């Protein structure tokens, strides 16, 4: 999305449908944050400021404790990314590019001044998203090199190597069929609204 939006390459063919796909993913993730596995819950991600500061001090000292799911700082990063990407997807549904060659599904629903403001915010938010992506990648490297935690492996596999001298914290998994049904329902809804068929 960032590539097509910034360069114009594949913009007319891909920017809108991929944006709608991203909207479905964000909707799934938010709903899954309430009904999904314990590691995916959204409310536990919102640790207090003191917990974030304690965690960052531990990271600076190079003695990060293993966490089941996201740590206090990472939890807020997830919330921020969900909000920014969600705004990008929703605002894209309401605007068109300057030449109005590519129009969001609900383009024209708002008055011209509001749509122009949303377009400006859409562009500004894309720059903020690029910054967040770079910071996210940088933090994964810092945790690996400085904090001695391989978060990339945990993100890809869903499994984190737990220290042998510490008992692993318990967690609960949601049934796979619940996730499958939610994916189908969300993509069916977004597909219907976006007129994919």
Q: Which H or E element spans position 49? A: helix 49-61
**64, 163 contact by CB (below 8 A):** no
User: Per the confidence metrics, is the pTM higher than 0.85?
Assistant: yes
- Token code pair at residue 100: 């109005």
**142, 83 contact by CB (below 8 A):** no
Confidence check: pLDDT of 100 > 90: no
**172, 35 contact by CB (below 8 A):** no
Confidence check: pLDDT of 27 > 90: yes
Distant-in-sequence, close-in-space partners of 17: CB < 8 Å, separation ≥ 6 = 194, 196
Measured distance CA(172)–CA(65) in Å, rounded? 21
DSSP state of 9: T
Confidence check: pLDDT of 182 > 90: yes
Residue 158 confidence (pLDDT): 74
Residue 197 confidence (pLDDT): 82
**Section 85-104 average pLDDT:** 92
**193, 105 contact by CB (below 8 A):** yes
**In the block, which residue shows the tokens 């063919």?**
13
Confidence check: pLDDT of 137 > 80: yes
Residue 160 confidence (pLDDT): 76
pLDDT interval class at 87 (50, 70, 90): very high
pLDDT tens for 158-168 read 777 777 777 77
**Section 16-44 average pLDDT:** 94
Q: How many CA atoms lie within 13 A of 176 on its CB side?
A: 0
Q: Is residue 108 helix, strand or coil?
A: coil
Positive or negative CA dihedral for 34, 152, 79, 118? negative
Q: What are all long-range contacts of 93-97, with beta carbons under 8 Å and residues at least 24 apart? A: 93/19, 93/20, 93/23, 93/194, 94/118, 95/119, 95/122, 97/11
Measured distance CA(71)–CA(13) in Å, rounded? 39
| Domain spans, the chain | 2-160+180-194
Measured distance CA(117)–CA(50) in Å, rounded? 36
Q: How many residues does the chain have?
A: 197
């Amino acid at each position: 999305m960032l590539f097509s939006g910034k360069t114009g390459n594949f913009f007319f063919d891909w920017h809108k449908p991929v944006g709608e796909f991203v909207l479905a993913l964000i909707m799934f993730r938010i709903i899954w944050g309430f009904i999904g596995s314990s590691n995916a819950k959204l409310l536990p991600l919102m640790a207090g400021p003191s917990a974030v500061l304690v965690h960052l001090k531990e990271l600076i000292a190079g003695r990060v404790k293993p966490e089941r799911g996201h740590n206090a700082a990472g939890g807020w990063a997830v919330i921020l990314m969900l909000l920014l990407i969600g705004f990008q997807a929703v605002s894209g549904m309401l605007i068109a590019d300057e030449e109005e060659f590519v129009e969001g599904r609900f383009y024209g629903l708002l008055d011209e001044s509001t749509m122009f403001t949303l377009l400006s915010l859409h562009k500004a938010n894309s720059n903020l998203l690029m910054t967040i992506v770079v910071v996210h990648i940088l933090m994964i490297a810092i945790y690996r090199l400085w904090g001695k935690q391989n978060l990339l492996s945990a993100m890809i596999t869903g499994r984190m190597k737990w220290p042998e001298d510490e008992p692993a914290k318990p967690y609960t998994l949601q049934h796979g069929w619940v996730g499958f049904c939610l994916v189908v329902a969300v993509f069916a809804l977004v597909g219907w609204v976006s007129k994919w068929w």
